[in-house]
Amino acid sequence: MATEAVPQSQTQIMLSFAPLVKKAVPAVVNIFTRTRITQTRPSLFDDPFFQRFFGGNFGPPRERQKIQNSLGSGVIVDGEGVIVTNFHVVGGADEITVALSDRREFDARVLIADERTDLAILKIDVEGESLPFLEFADSDKLEIGDLVIAIGNPFGVGQTVTSGIISALDRSAGLNNDIQSFIQTDAAINPGNSGGALLTMDGRIAGINSAIFSKSGGSLGIGFAIPANMVKAVLTNGLATGKVVRPWLGAIGQEITGDVADGLGLDKPGGVLVNRVHPDSAAYQAGLKVGDVIVSIDGREVLAPEALTFRVASSVVGETTHLGVYRNGERIDLEMNLMPASENPPRALEMLTGRHPLSGAMLGNLSPAYALELNFSAFSEGVVVAEVEKGSVAERYGLRPRDVLLQVNGKKVNSVTEAKSLLENAGGSWHISIRRNGRTLAFKVNT
């Protein structure tokens, strides 16, 4: 690894990034996507004045297709044409084109798409050619003040290089995903840079550029990159299994504030006070208990629940990790074998039919794994609406995907089997309650 040192002279300050850029640029690509969007065009029949006299069902809807183009960047991480980019660059795209630095273009297919980490893995067919690629740095070894450069395609102007430093580590960036530990940099990052490389001074990937904080849409010197260790974990797990499989701790808790630290007899604030432990989890098998305080993972300090989630998620299923825990005033070490979220109970997806209000709804049992796929708490239980057929009875009564079925005629619904039985034996009268976006809703149906 290159020796880190502060420049000591004017000559050293004037040293060029050119050798590093020349080596790295061929491994950074431009990505262009095309997405077909169906739009309903307004017409005379949509005018409220017209509908007042002729009704609201006069004339068929008029639709047209629109092509939406977008651009971003990506990084070649394997000479056989494996490319890492952001999910938001390629998510939902009908066509993806990758342009190399030598201007050759290739159609790309998506191997892995993971919205929860905003990462996607692409593959292009290079017919046996070995492409230039970049290796990953250990992002846990990065420090605030380290020099970095960002390479990408901002605003579609072409491949561009900017430089800066690491401004902060473990930033949340205010995004709703599993990455609550971004690298913050003042290297200029703009729209189109997404998916490009943030590089260390030895030419390794420190992170994948993902987001900016901006009120104008341009760079204000606050950019965020997904740490390399998280990218490596998604890449390793995804290519090995063909899908995104992340380790799951199976425990949740709260941040240790100063008052809580005093109450627990800790020397300082920091760590996670465990409130719940799932019985089908790695944490439970390792012996973690409610009331324990997790202060480290593999010797690295844990200051908040977000950092705990990130540390576990950026590891690889099957690895062994060590939790530093305070229990009853004593420091203990727990060895934990990392495993994915449990699929117990099996989701048992089933499309309901028959004479009841949920006919046309597909129901499934919530397990930790299924709950996390739906962005629910992994501790969610019960039965969820997976799909609703268009034009079905369930749709007419307002059921939506991700609704959680709570009760039928006052009886709690614990499984798809129970839901079917309660609906089919209701005697023509149903009182149904569901949970939607944290709110409880209810409706009655009589035949």
Active site residue 118: yes
Name the active-site residue from 46, 88, 322, 415: 88
Instruction: Give the Cα separation of 245 and 86 in Å (integer).
Output: 17
Name the active-site residue from 114, 118, 186, 403: 118
The closest alpha carbon to 229, from 123, 312, 285, belongs to: 312
Tokens standing for 399?
A: 């059921």
Active site residue 194: yes
| Residues β-bridged to residue 434 | 405, 441
The closest alpha carbon to 443, from 429, 427, 428, 424, belongs to: 429
Q: What are phi and psi of 185, to 5 degrees?
A: -140, 155
Instruction: Give the Cα separation of 205 and 139 in Å (integer).
Output: 9
Instruction: Provide the CA 154 distance to its chain's centre, in angstroms.
Output: 23
Instruction: Give the number of residues written for the chain.
Output: 447
The closest alpha carbon to 75, from 102, 105, 98, 103, belongs to: 98
Name the active-site residue from 167, 181, 194, 210: 194
Q: Within a 13 Å sphere around the CA of 178, how many CA atoms are in the beta-carbon half?
A: 28
Query: Which residues have a catalytic role annotated?
Result: 88, 118, 194
